[in-house]
Each structure stands twice: as C-alpha cells, then as structure tokens.
Structure 1
Amino acid sequence: MKIVSIAASKHKGTRKTTVQKAQLIKDHGLENDAHAGAWHRQVSFLASESIEGAAARGLDVTFGDFAENIATSGIDWLTLPIGTRLKLGDAAVVEITQIGKTCHNKCAIYHLAGDCIMPREGIFARVLEGGPIACGDAIHILEC
C-alpha cells in the first residue's frame, strides 16, 4: 500500500495539480489546498485503480482530476470503516471521517471529465499528526 499521487488546488471544485511531495498539517490538512481547514474533510483519498478504471472507460482523466488529494495503490478504501487510522510516510497519521459524499450540483470536474467518482468512491480524513509525505511513501493501517 502506497501513495501514488499527491495533488492540491487553490479553489474547491476544480482539478488539482500534482506534486511529488507535500506537508500534512495537524488539524488542518494538505498545505496550500483549498479543502484544508478546521473540519472533518481535511484530506481526500481515491484509489489509483479507480482513476485508471475511469480512464479505461473512456474518460480523459489522470491524477488530481477528481480533486483527490492523495491517490493510492493497494488499498480497498470502501472496506475500511470510519475511524480507521492510517500512517502515511514516516510521521503523518490520518483518521477516516467520511466515505463518499453528496454531490449537490455538477461541479467543474463532472463537466470536464464527464463523470465524477469522488461522491461514490472518495474517502475523507482529518489529520491527527502532521508530517511530510511523498509519492512512493508507504501507507500502514494502524487500527480499524
């Protein structure tokens, strides 16, 4: 289980720009990301397998296009319950707070990509311990 992609954006509802490394900030989220803040959806996760599946179905998408902060490989996110804690890299710890989300209106991502899988497959978490993360870093499940 590892981090495949890290992405951030300055505005909500838009595709994110990928970076090789970033800083997770305790009780805040991903540094310089519009979704960071004092709430329960500080960081978003999506399986790289889901993104690749959407591309295989003909959508013109890549990492960051669904506004996910962190794309992963080897984790079946939908099987992990709310409250699961995970360690990212050497120091950062997150706790799953929400599985999926309600999409009240079709955002820019839906209109650009033709679909948005975040409402169905996105996972949201709050940052319990901050720290640096990088593409290729291991992810460990600490407790479910």
Structure 2
Amino acid sequence: MIAVSRSTTHTFTKPNQESIQLLTGLGVEGDSHMGKTVQHRSRVAVDPNQPNLRQIHLIHAELHDELQAAGFAVSAGQMGENITTRGINLLDLPTGTRLHLGNKAVVELTGLGNPCAQLDQFQTGLMAAVLDRDEHGKLIRKAGVMGIVAIGGEVRSGDRIQIELPPEPHQSLDRV
C-alpha cells in the first residue's frame, strides 16, 4: 500500500493518513462511507436499507500514473479511495477475492467502482479518462474496486497486501 485515506464528510477527495482503522462489517472508522447499509448519497436516495458493498474503495497507483501522463493532476486519495495500491492489478481480481492488509485486516472485493460526475467537477475530462472500451465495445471501468471489511484491524501506508483468490469458477468484478 502506498497510501491510506479517509474523510469524515462526503467530500470527493480523502486526506491521506498515517493509518486507518478498518471495522468488521462497517468500513473505515471515521469515514463518511462507513456503515452496514449504503452510505453513498445516490444509493441512499434509491434505497437507504440496501447493504453497503462499498465500505472500502481501492485504487491502483498505476491508474494515477496513467492519468498523470494524460495531463491530469491526481494523487493518492484524491479520487475518493481509502487505499492506494501499487503492483496489484485490482481490476482483474475476481469477486470475492480477499485482500489481507497489514497484520490482521481482510477486505473482500465486491465489485468495481462506478465513476461518477464528481470526477469532472474535480478535473474536467477525468470521468471519460477512467472509462474505456474493450475490443468488443464493452465498457471498462478503471476507477478502482470496492469491498467490505471481513476482518477489522489497523492498516498503514507501506503495509503489505496478500491476495487470497476465491474458489473457482471465478466471477469477474462488476459495477456495485
């Protein structure tokens, strides 16, 4: 992990922290998206009682590199992620993958982050830059992955991440 971030309010960016505390079944302690039920405003408006499958947002730093090469000024936490990784192809991991973070914490991946219009409010053109199409025309969402806290614990910048794949057959991550 190269950075951990949280925000107590529904701001787009999340300030980097030395460490964050993950709470089992809830998310990041003190983060505005923490809770058993959905906390994202657009989803609360639809159904405030749906389970929160978006407790933790992870983005790979390689996306920041790609965006910086395209002229965007982005860094860890600025796209709303709680955890910024490097060297892990998050988008290719299957649903149910468990990421062992630091000494104790475990995050289970639930799906892909769904880019929203706030990206363009942060920097014009950023939303289009995190969307792509494959050779068959299928939409590719590159704005990170979402997960739930399966086992809580303290997570720090610089901690190792171990990947535990779910049993086969694997199911590709989809929008949550």
Superposed pair shares fold, TM > 0.5? yes
Please tell me the residue identity of whatever aligns with 2:86: S
Unaligned runs of 5+ in 1: none
Give me the identity figure in percent.
33
* Equivalent of 1:46 in 51, 54, 59: 59
The aligned runs of 1:64-79 (5 Å cut-off) are 64-79=77-92
- Write the distance in 2 (CA, Å) between the matches of 1:130 and 1:64: 20
Q: Structure 1-normalised TM-score? A: 0.89
User: Greater CA radius of gyration, 1 or 2?
Assistant: 2
- Write the distance in 1 (CA, Å) between the matches of 2:33 and 2:68: 25
**Residues 63/22 of structure 1: CA separation in 2 closer, same or farther (3 Å cut):** same
Q: Report which structure shows greater RCO (CA 8 Å, sep ≥6).
A: 1
Judge conservation of contact 1:61–1:113 (CA < 8 Å) in 2: no
Q: Structure 2-normalised TM-score? A: 0.74
The aligned runs of 1:84-123 (5 Å cut-off) are 84-101=97-114, 103=116, 106-107=117-118, 109-114=119-124, 115-116=126-127, 117=130, 120-123=142-145
Report how many aligned residue pairs link the two structures: 139
1:50 Cα offset (Å): 0.5
Measured on the aligned residues, the alpha-carbon RMSD in Å equals 1.6
Judge conservation of contact 1:82–1:99 (CA < 8 Å) in 2: no
Write out per-residue CA displacement over residues 121-141 of structure 1, whole angstroms, 9 at most, x where no aligned residue: 310000000001101100001
- Write the distance in 1 (CA, Å) between the matches of 2:4 and 2:154: 11
- Write the distance in 2 (CA, Å) between the matches of 1:97 and 1:131: 19
